[in-house]
């Protein structure tokens, strides 16, 4: 297993990382594709990183800080299907969890597309429990919000 290298997307980091983050996100969450501009706006508030095994982008992450003192923070790890089951998800998740705790989160949540069986199993194995399930307007697949118990 490689030790991953993490690079932030612009404006904090690079344009290349932003394009890699977009490709990975939109492939894994095809029901909610994000434009470059939408990602750049999110990157001003959230930590958006790409995980590289050597030079190969294998996954990405989103860390959302709590919006106020007692609000939850969010960690989302994503790994491309062809790179799964090599421990990369674990590395991405642990880094995201440390970051969101550092940002002051006492409550940690994640959000997973209901069709992502790998993601739901991974989250439950890491102690998350489902708190809400909803379909966004225009979507057919539900999102599942989970919270670290």
Ligand X SMILES: CC(C)(COP(=O)(O)OP(=O)(O)OC[C@H]1O[C@@H](n2cnc3c(N)ncnc32)[C@H](O)[C@@H]1OP(=O)(O)O)[C@@H](O)C(=O)NCCC(=O)NCCS
Judged by the rule CB under 6 A, the positions of this chain that interact with ligand X are 1, 28, 76-79, 84-90, 93, 110, 112, 116, 118-119, 121-123, 125
DSSP 8-state code for residue 68: S
Nearer to ligand X, 50 or 77 (CB): 77
Q: Shortest approach of ligand X to residue 55 CB, angstroms? A: 18
- Separation of alpha carbons 47 and 63, rounded Å: 5
The CB density around residue 40, as the number of other CB atoms within 10 Å, is 17
Structure tokens at 119: 């993601």
Return the axis-axis angle of helices 36-45 and 15-28, rounded to nearest 10°.
100
Q: Shortest approach of ligand X to residue 51 CB, angstroms? A: 9
Q: Shortest approach of ligand X to residue 68 CB, angstroms? A: 23
Q: Note the helical H segments in the chain.
A: 15-28, 36-45, 88-102, 117-125
Nearer to ligand X, 15 or 27 (CB): 27
Nearer to ligand X, 69 or 81 (CB): 81
Nearer to ligand X, 55 or 85 (CB): 85
Q: Shortest approach of ligand X to residue 44 CB, angstroms? A: 22
């Amino acid at each position: 297993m490689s030790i991953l290298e993490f690079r932030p997307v612009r404006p904090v980091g690079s344009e290349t990382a932003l394009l890699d983050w977009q490709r990975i996100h939109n492939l894994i969450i095809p029901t909610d594709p994000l434009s470059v501009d939408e990602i750049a706006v999110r990157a001003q508030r959230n930590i958006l990183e790409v995980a590289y095994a050597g030079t190969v982008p294998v996954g990405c992450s989103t860390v959302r800080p709590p919006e106020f003192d007692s609000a939850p923070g969010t960690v989302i790890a994503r790994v491309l299907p062809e790179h799964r089951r090599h421990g990369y998800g674990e590395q991405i998740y642990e880094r995201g969890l440390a970051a969101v705790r550092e940002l002051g989160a006492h409550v940690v949540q994640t959000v997973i597309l209901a069709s992502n069986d790998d993601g739901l199993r991974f989250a439950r194995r890491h102690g998350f429990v489902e708190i809400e399930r909803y379909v966004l307007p225009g979507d057919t697949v539900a999102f599942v919000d989970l919270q670290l118990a």
